[in-house]
Amino acid sequence: MPSPEIFKFASADEISTALDHFIAQASHDAIARSGRFTVTLSGGSLPKVLAAKLKSNTTVEWSKWHVFFADERCVPHDHDDSNYLLAKQQLLDSVPIPANQVHPINPALVNDRHAAAKDYVQQLKSVFGEELPSFDVNLLGIGPDGHCCSLFPGHPLLDVKDTWVASLDDSPKPPPSRITLTYPVINNADTNVFVVTGEGKADVFHQIIDLKEPLPSGRVQAKRRLIWFVDNGAAGKLKASTLKYSL
């Protein structure tokens, strides 16, 4: 398993610039290797930080992108809680990714989370076939409790290994009904990237990186690279010695 690589920046704005360069390069490399770039997006603060610079990047071959969601709330696409709506407003409306290569939750199934999760597995199969999906990049956030995707501390979904997409109706972060990728898919990515900003994440980032507490975000692995983009606020409680990993 790769060691975490921690990149620290002065501000969220600097992270946006670094993410723009990083994702453009990852996209270029993946397209050179396999003819496409497969990526997942999370909700929360991530889409805005990601899109700030990337949405204007004309060097990216957007037509080769296949976009999925690391987790999604079971709400209609036009609902304020929709991660798809957020990604659309922040990034997808600004870049020419073919509509059939963007994979939101099936809006007809948002009242049946089990059916929505099954449908999402089929959407994954439409791109990855029967093999366990291996995304080029998952873009992940963390909550102050250490959750990522919709994998919450102490929740039974942390142990799910027999499905690529699971559902829950008791998310401690509202709204309660969600679908989420499970660890077998998340950890089979070539690269997992966490984006963590603000002092509100300083404690949990320290718990995960320095104290190695087995919080959901701390259980994320990757085939090749496990990367953290953090700002000064989020890294405020990190032990100085840990930053030997910084660039």
Q: Among residues 2 and 176, whose Cβ is nearest to ligand 6PG?
A: 176
**CB 66 within 8 Å of CB 101:** yes
CA dihedral 230, 236, 238, 244 (to 10 degrees): 60
Q: Which of 45, 57, 163, 207 binds ligand 6PG (CB under 6 A)?
A: 45
Point out which span in 20-28, 43-51, 97-105, 215-223 binds ligand 6PG (CB under 6 A): 43-51
Q: Which of 82, 83, 187, 191 binds ligand 6PG (CB under 6 A)?
A: 83
Tokens of 28: 């270029």
Is 79 among the residues that bind ligand 6PG (CB under 6 A)? Answer: no
Q: How far is the CB of 46 from ligand 6PG (least distance, A)?
A: 6
Q: Which amino acid is at 149?
A: C
Q: Among residues 64 and 120, whose Cβ is nearest to ligand 6PG?
A: 120
Point out which span in 103-111, 141-149, 220-228, 232-240 binds ligand 6PG (CB under 6 A): 141-149
- How many positions of this chain bind ligand 6PG (CB under 6 A)? 14
* Rounded CA separation 24/216 (Å): 28
User: What HEC string does 142-200 produce?
Assistant: CCCCCCECCECCCCHHHHCCCCCEEEECCCCCCCCCEEEECHHHHCCCCEEEEEECCHH
Q: How far is the CB of 75 from ligand 6PG (least distance, A)?
A: 11
Q: Among residues 61 and 153, whose Cβ is nearest to ligand 6PG?
A: 153
* Rounded CA separation 67/44 (Å): 17
* CA torsion through residues 213, 44, 99, 61, sign: negative
Q: Which residues bind ligand 6PG (CB under 6 A)?
A: 42-46, 71, 73, 83, 141-143, 148-149, 173
